[in-house]
Amino acid sequence: MAIAAVQSFLNQLYHELKGLSEGRVATYIPELAKANPDWFGISVVTLDGQVFEVGDVAQKFTIQSISKVFVYSMALEDYGRENLLKKVGVEPTGDPFNSLIRLDEDSKRPDNPMVNAGAIATTSLITGQDPADRLNRMLAMFQRYVGDEVFVDVSTFVSERSTGHRNRAMAHLMLNFGLIDEHIDEALDLYFQQCSVLVTCHDLAVMAATLANKGVNPLTGVQAVGAEHVRDILSVMYTCGMYNFAGEWAFRVGIPAKSGVSGGILAVVPNQAGIAVFSPPLDGHGNSVRGLKVFEALSQEYGFHLFDLSLGHCRFAQGLQQT
Protein backbone atom coordinates (compact mmCIF):
# COMPACT_ATOMS: atom_id res chain seq x y z
CA MET A 1 0.00 0.00 0.00
CA ALA A 2 1.33 3.45 -0.90
CA ILE A 3 2.06 5.68 2.08
CA ALA A 4 3.28 9.27 2.29
CA ALA A 5 7.05 9.68 2.40
CA VAL A 6 6.78 11.43 5.76
CA GLN A 7 5.04 8.39 7.26
CA SER A 8 7.89 6.13 6.08
CA PHE A 9 10.40 8.58 7.51
CA LEU A 10 8.61 8.62 10.90
CA ASN A 11 8.48 4.80 10.92
CA GLN A 12 12.20 4.65 10.18
CA LEU A 13 13.07 7.17 12.94
CA TYR A 14 10.86 5.29 15.39
CA HIS A 15 12.59 1.97 14.72
CA GLU A 16 16.07 3.54 14.81
CA LEU A 17 15.50 5.28 18.14
CA LYS A 18 13.22 2.88 19.98
CA GLY A 19 16.08 0.88 21.50
CA LEU A 20 17.98 3.94 22.73
CA SER A 21 18.64 3.71 26.46
CA GLU A 22 20.05 7.18 27.21
CA GLY A 23 18.36 9.61 29.56
CA ARG A 24 16.41 9.38 32.79
CA VAL A 25 12.72 9.67 33.60
CA ALA A 26 12.04 12.67 35.91
CA THR A 27 11.52 11.65 39.51
CA TYR A 28 11.40 14.94 41.43
CA ILE A 29 7.62 14.88 41.07
CA PRO A 30 6.88 11.41 42.52
CA GLU A 31 4.03 10.66 40.07
CA LEU A 32 6.29 11.22 37.05
CA ALA A 33 8.64 8.47 38.21
CA LYS A 34 5.93 5.95 37.26
CA ALA A 35 6.38 6.65 33.53
CA ASN A 36 7.55 3.79 31.32
CA PRO A 37 10.91 4.75 29.74
CA ASP A 38 9.98 2.74 26.62
CA TRP A 39 6.96 4.92 25.77
CA PHE A 40 7.71 6.61 22.47
CA GLY A 41 5.40 8.34 20.02
CA ILE A 42 5.76 10.78 17.13
CA SER A 43 2.83 12.71 15.65
CA VAL A 44 2.64 15.19 12.78
CA VAL A 45 -0.56 17.11 11.95
CA THR A 46 -0.70 19.22 8.80
CA LEU A 47 -2.74 22.36 8.30
CA ASP A 48 -5.16 20.54 6.02
CA GLY A 49 -5.78 17.99 8.75
CA GLN A 50 -3.60 15.09 7.60
CA VAL A 51 -2.20 13.07 10.49
CA PHE A 52 1.01 10.98 10.37
CA GLU A 53 1.94 9.11 13.52
CA VAL A 54 3.82 6.17 14.91
CA GLY A 55 4.22 4.54 18.34
CA ASP A 56 2.51 5.42 21.61
CA VAL A 57 0.62 8.45 20.34
CA ALA A 58 -2.52 7.68 22.38
CA GLN A 59 -0.73 7.19 25.71
CA LYS A 60 -1.92 9.81 28.20
CA PHE A 61 0.59 11.79 30.25
CA THR A 62 0.63 15.13 32.06
CA ILE A 63 1.50 18.12 29.90
CA GLN A 64 3.85 19.74 32.48
CA SER A 65 5.81 22.75 31.22
CA ILE A 66 4.29 22.62 27.74
CA SER A 67 1.18 24.10 29.41
CA LYS A 68 3.13 27.34 29.88
CA VAL A 69 2.82 28.16 26.18
CA PHE A 70 -0.95 27.91 26.24
CA VAL A 71 -1.49 29.70 29.53
CA TYR A 72 0.74 32.48 28.17
CA SER A 73 -1.54 32.66 25.13
CA MET A 74 -4.50 32.99 27.48
CA ALA A 75 -2.80 35.70 29.53
CA LEU A 76 -2.03 37.65 26.34
CA GLU A 77 -5.75 37.63 25.61
CA ASP A 78 -6.84 38.31 29.20
CA TYR A 79 -4.31 40.93 30.11
CA GLY A 80 -2.92 42.40 26.88
CA ARG A 81 0.62 42.28 25.52
CA GLU A 82 2.00 45.48 27.05
CA ASN A 83 0.53 44.87 30.51
CA LEU A 84 1.86 41.34 30.48
CA LEU A 85 5.34 42.50 29.48
CA LYS A 86 5.46 44.71 32.56
CA LYS A 87 5.01 41.62 34.75
CA VAL A 88 6.90 38.93 32.85
CA GLY A 89 9.81 39.56 30.47
CA VAL A 90 10.77 37.77 27.25
CA GLU A 91 14.49 37.28 27.89
CA PRO A 92 16.07 33.80 27.80
CA THR A 93 17.87 33.01 31.04
CA GLY A 94 20.39 30.27 30.33
CA ASP A 95 19.49 29.04 33.82
CA PRO A 96 17.57 25.89 34.73
CA PHE A 97 13.76 26.18 34.58
CA ASN A 98 13.36 26.12 38.35
CA SER A 99 16.08 28.62 39.21
CA LEU A 100 15.17 31.49 41.49
CA ILE A 101 18.55 33.22 41.60
CA ARG A 102 17.94 35.81 38.88
CA LEU A 103 14.54 36.59 40.28
CA ASP A 104 16.17 37.95 43.40
CA GLU A 105 19.29 39.48 41.85
CA ASP A 106 17.94 41.11 38.82
CA SER A 107 14.87 43.02 37.80
CA LYS A 108 12.50 41.52 40.39
CA ARG A 109 10.53 40.41 37.36
CA PRO A 110 10.68 36.88 35.98
CA ASP A 111 12.76 36.75 32.81
CA ASN A 112 10.26 34.91 30.66
CA PRO A 113 7.01 32.90 30.84
CA MET A 114 8.68 29.55 30.05
CA VAL A 115 10.65 29.31 33.31
CA ASN A 116 8.68 28.37 36.41
CA ALA A 117 8.77 31.80 38.05
CA GLY A 118 7.44 33.47 34.90
CA ALA A 119 4.86 30.78 34.40
CA ILE A 120 3.54 31.11 37.95
CA ALA A 121 3.35 34.91 37.55
CA THR A 122 1.53 34.42 34.22
CA THR A 123 -0.93 31.96 35.75
CA SER A 124 -1.64 34.38 38.60
CA LEU A 125 -2.95 36.87 36.00
CA ILE A 126 -5.62 34.56 34.55
CA THR A 127 -8.97 36.20 35.16
CA GLY A 128 -12.08 34.61 36.65
CA GLN A 129 -14.56 35.07 39.49
CA ASP A 130 -13.07 32.42 41.75
CA PRO A 131 -10.60 29.50 41.57
CA ALA A 132 -13.18 27.15 40.00
CA ASP A 133 -14.03 29.71 37.32
CA ARG A 134 -10.34 30.26 36.53
CA LEU A 135 -9.74 26.51 36.26
CA ASN A 136 -12.79 26.06 34.04
CA ARG A 137 -11.70 28.91 31.75
CA MET A 138 -8.27 27.33 31.53
CA LEU A 139 -9.66 23.88 30.71
CA ALA A 140 -11.92 25.44 28.06
CA MET A 141 -8.86 27.10 26.54
CA PHE A 142 -6.95 23.76 26.42
CA GLN A 143 -10.06 22.15 24.91
CA ARG A 144 -10.09 24.61 22.01
CA TYR A 145 -6.50 23.70 21.17
CA VAL A 146 -6.98 19.93 21.62
CA GLY A 147 -10.42 19.70 20.04
CA ASP A 148 -11.67 17.37 22.78
CA GLU A 149 -12.39 17.33 26.51
CA VAL A 150 -9.35 17.63 28.78
CA PHE A 151 -8.95 16.59 32.41
CA VAL A 152 -6.56 17.24 35.27
CA ASP A 153 -4.76 14.17 36.62
CA VAL A 154 -5.56 14.48 40.31
CA SER A 155 -2.71 12.21 41.49
CA THR A 156 -0.10 14.33 39.72
CA PHE A 157 -1.72 17.54 40.93
CA VAL A 158 -1.59 16.31 44.54
CA SER A 159 1.95 15.01 44.03
CA GLU A 160 3.15 18.41 42.76
CA ARG A 161 1.18 20.35 45.31
CA SER A 162 2.76 18.46 48.19
CA THR A 163 6.34 18.51 46.87
CA GLY A 164 6.61 21.78 44.89
CA HIS A 165 8.55 23.70 47.51
CA ARG A 166 10.77 25.55 45.04
CA ASN A 167 7.71 26.75 43.16
CA ARG A 168 6.19 27.87 46.44
CA ALA A 169 9.41 29.71 47.32
CA MET A 170 9.32 31.55 43.97
CA ALA A 171 5.72 32.58 44.51
CA HIS A 172 6.55 33.94 47.96
CA LEU A 173 9.52 35.86 46.59
CA MET A 174 7.32 37.38 43.90
CA LEU A 175 4.72 38.29 46.51
CA ASN A 176 7.50 39.97 48.48
CA PHE A 177 8.34 42.11 45.39
CA GLY A 178 4.66 42.94 44.90
CA LEU A 179 4.69 41.18 41.57
CA ILE A 180 1.82 38.84 42.34
CA ASP A 181 -1.01 39.39 44.77
CA GLU A 182 -1.55 37.65 48.08
CA HIS A 183 -3.65 34.82 46.62
CA ILE A 184 -0.51 32.81 46.04
CA ASP A 185 -1.92 29.47 47.13
CA GLU A 186 -4.69 29.82 44.58
CA ALA A 187 -2.20 30.79 41.86
CA LEU A 188 0.05 27.84 42.76
CA ASP A 189 -2.88 25.42 42.73
CA LEU A 190 -3.87 26.65 39.29
CA TYR A 191 -0.25 26.31 38.12
CA PHE A 192 -0.02 22.73 39.48
CA GLN A 193 -3.38 21.97 37.82
CA GLN A 194 -2.28 23.31 34.44
CA CYS A 195 0.89 21.15 34.63
CA SER A 196 -1.29 18.12 35.47
CA VAL A 197 -3.58 18.37 32.44
CA LEU A 198 -3.62 15.01 30.64
CA VAL A 199 -2.74 14.95 26.96
CA THR A 200 -1.48 12.49 24.35
CA CYS A 201 1.28 12.95 21.80
CA HIS A 202 -1.47 13.26 19.18
CA ASP A 203 -3.13 16.05 21.20
CA LEU A 204 0.14 17.96 21.40
CA ALA A 205 0.59 17.77 17.63
CA VAL A 206 -2.94 19.15 17.13
CA MET A 207 -2.19 21.97 19.60
CA ALA A 208 1.02 22.78 17.74
CA ALA A 209 -0.78 22.63 14.38
CA THR A 210 -3.28 25.16 15.76
CA LEU A 211 -0.44 27.60 16.40
CA ALA A 212 1.03 26.81 12.96
CA ASN A 213 -2.39 27.67 11.50
CA LYS A 214 -2.82 31.24 12.86
CA GLY A 215 -4.58 29.99 15.98
CA VAL A 216 -7.25 27.89 14.21
CA ASN A 217 -7.45 24.19 15.16
CA PRO A 218 -7.09 22.46 11.76
CA LEU A 219 -9.21 19.48 12.81
CA THR A 220 -12.19 21.38 14.27
CA GLY A 221 -11.95 24.82 12.62
CA VAL A 222 -12.22 26.45 16.07
CA GLN A 223 -10.20 29.63 16.70
CA ALA A 224 -8.28 28.71 19.87
CA VAL A 225 -6.41 32.01 20.22
CA GLY A 226 -6.51 35.33 18.39
CA ALA A 227 -4.24 35.25 15.33
CA GLU A 228 -2.69 38.54 16.50
CA HIS A 229 -1.07 36.73 19.47
CA VAL A 230 0.56 33.89 17.57
CA ARG A 231 3.74 35.78 16.66
CA ASP A 232 4.41 36.66 20.31
CA ILE A 233 3.78 33.09 21.45
CA LEU A 234 6.11 31.62 18.83
CA SER A 235 8.83 34.20 19.59
CA VAL A 236 8.92 33.19 23.24
CA MET A 237 8.91 29.49 22.33
CA TYR A 238 11.78 30.04 19.90
CA THR A 239 14.00 31.87 22.38
CA CYS A 240 13.02 30.23 25.69
CA GLY A 241 11.11 27.01 25.03
CA MET A 242 13.79 24.34 25.42
CA TYR A 243 15.16 25.07 28.90
CA ASN A 244 18.82 26.08 28.94
CA PHE A 245 19.31 24.33 25.60
CA ALA A 246 17.19 26.93 23.79
CA GLY A 247 20.11 28.55 21.92
CA GLU A 248 21.52 25.28 20.73
CA TRP A 249 18.03 24.10 19.72
CA ALA A 250 17.52 27.33 17.72
CA PHE A 251 20.82 26.66 15.97
CA ARG A 252 20.43 22.95 15.30
CA VAL A 253 16.67 22.52 14.87
CA GLY A 254 15.34 26.06 14.45
CA ILE A 255 11.64 25.37 15.13
CA PRO A 256 9.64 27.21 17.86
CA ALA A 257 9.11 24.51 20.49
CA LYS A 258 8.42 23.72 24.12
CA SER A 259 9.36 20.69 26.13
CA GLY A 260 8.19 19.38 29.49
CA VAL A 261 9.62 17.12 32.19
CA SER A 262 7.12 14.35 31.45
CA GLY A 263 8.93 13.83 28.13
CA GLY A 264 6.85 15.73 25.60
CA ILE A 265 8.18 18.17 23.00
CA LEU A 266 5.76 20.20 20.91
CA ALA A 267 6.99 22.17 17.89
CA VAL A 268 5.33 24.58 15.48
CA VAL A 269 6.39 24.79 11.84
CA PRO A 270 4.52 27.93 10.76
CA ASN A 271 2.16 27.40 7.83
CA GLN A 272 3.22 23.75 7.57
CA ALA A 273 2.52 21.49 10.53
CA GLY A 274 2.41 20.80 14.23
CA ILE A 275 4.77 18.10 15.46
CA ALA A 276 5.01 16.33 18.81
CA VAL A 277 7.24 13.66 20.28
CA PHE A 278 6.65 11.85 23.57
CA SER A 279 9.40 9.82 25.24
CA PRO A 280 9.97 10.19 29.01
CA PRO A 281 13.76 9.72 29.41
CA LEU A 282 15.33 13.20 29.69
CA ASP A 283 18.82 14.60 29.26
CA GLY A 284 20.51 16.88 31.79
CA HIS A 285 18.63 19.95 30.52
CA GLY A 286 15.24 18.27 30.99
CA ASN A 287 14.58 17.61 27.29
CA SER A 288 13.46 14.23 25.93
CA VAL A 289 16.51 12.43 24.51
CA ARG A 290 14.61 10.66 21.73
CA GLY A 291 12.63 13.84 21.11
CA LEU A 292 15.75 15.88 20.38
CA LYS A 293 16.99 13.28 17.91
CA VAL A 294 13.64 13.08 16.11
CA PHE A 295 13.44 16.86 15.70
CA GLU A 296 17.00 17.20 14.52
CA ALA A 297 16.34 14.58 11.85
CA LEU A 298 12.97 16.07 10.78
CA SER A 299 14.39 19.59 10.55
CA GLN A 300 17.26 18.30 8.43
CA GLU A 301 15.09 16.15 6.18
CA TYR A 302 12.36 18.69 5.46
CA GLY A 303 14.09 22.08 5.81
CA PHE A 304 11.92 23.05 8.82
CA HIS A 305 14.50 25.40 10.38
CA LEU A 306 12.93 28.90 10.36
CA PHE A 307 15.82 30.19 8.27
CA ASP A 308 15.36 27.38 5.77
CA LEU A 309 11.63 28.15 5.65
CA SER A 310 12.22 31.86 5.11
CA LEU A 311 14.66 31.11 2.27
CA GLY A 312 12.07 28.86 0.61
CA HIS A 313 14.06 25.69 1.35
CA CYS A 314 11.21 23.77 2.98
CA ARG A 315 10.85 20.28 1.44
CA PHE A 316 7.72 19.16 3.30
CA ALA A 317 5.55 19.12 0.16
CA GLN A 318 7.72 16.24 -1.15
CA GLY A 319 7.23 14.47 2.18
CA LEU A 320 3.45 14.51 1.68
CA GLN A 321 3.71 12.65 -1.63
CA GLN A 322 2.98 8.92 -1.74
CA THR A 323 5.90 6.55 -2.10
What's the one-letter identity of residue 37? P
Residue 247: what are its φ and ψ, rounded to 5°?
A: -65, -45
Q: Which of 78, 160, 189, 203 binds ligand GLU (CB under 6 A)?
A: 160
Q: Is 65 a catalytic residue?
A: yes
**With respect to ligand GLU, which residue has the nearer C-beta, 98 or 99?**
98
**With respect to ligand GLU, which residue has the nearer C-beta, 95 or 308?**
95
Catalytic option among 43, 65, 288, 299? 65
Q: Is 152 a catalytic residue?
A: no
Q: Which of 7, 43, 64, 287 binds ligand GLU (CB under 6 A)?
A: 64
Q: Is 68 a catalytic residue?
A: yes
Q: Show contacts with ligand GLU in window 195-234 (CB under 6 A).
A: 195
Q: CA dihedral defined by 17, 147, 137, 256, rounded to 10 degrees?
A: 40
Length of the chain: 323
List the Cα angle 250/164/90 in 5-degree steps. 30
Asked if 98 is part of the footprint of ligand GLU (rule: CB under 6 A), the reply reads yes
> Are 149 and 195 spatial neighbours (Cβ–Cβ below 8 Å)?
no
DSSP state of 24: B
Neighbours of 50 (CB within 10 A): 15
Residue 255: what are its φ and ψ, rounded to 5°?
A: -120, 130
- Using CA atoms, how far apart are residues 151 and 159, in angstroms rounded to an integer? 16
Asked if 112 is part of the footprint of ligand GLU (rule: CB under 6 A), the reply reads no
- Using CA atoms, how far apart are residues 29 and 140, in angstroms rounded to an integer? 26
**With respect to ligand GLU, which residue has the nearer C-beta, 55 or 263?**
263
- Chain centroid, CA 97 distance in Å: 13
Q: Is 44 a catalytic residue?
A: no
> Are 10 and 273 spatial neighbours (Cβ–Cβ below 8 Å)?
no
**With respect to ligand GLU, which residue has the nearer C-beta, 138 or 261?**
261
Q: Which of 116, 124, 159, 217 binds ligand GLU (CB under 6 A)?
A: 116
**With respect to ligand GLU, which residue has the nearer C-beta, 206 or 261?**
261
Asked if 244 is part of the footprint of ligand GLU (rule: CB under 6 A), the reply reads no
**Shortest Å distance, C-beta 298 to ligand GLU:** 22
Q: Show contacts with ligand GLU in window 260-289 (CB under 6 A).
A: 260-261, 286
Catalytic option among 191, 258, 259, 269? 191
The secondary structure element, H or E, covering residue 242 is none
Q: Is 73 a catalytic residue?
A: no
Active site residues: 65, 68, 191, 243, 261
Residue ranges in contact with ligand GLU by CB under 6 A? 64-65, 97-98, 116, 160, 167, 195, 260-261, 286
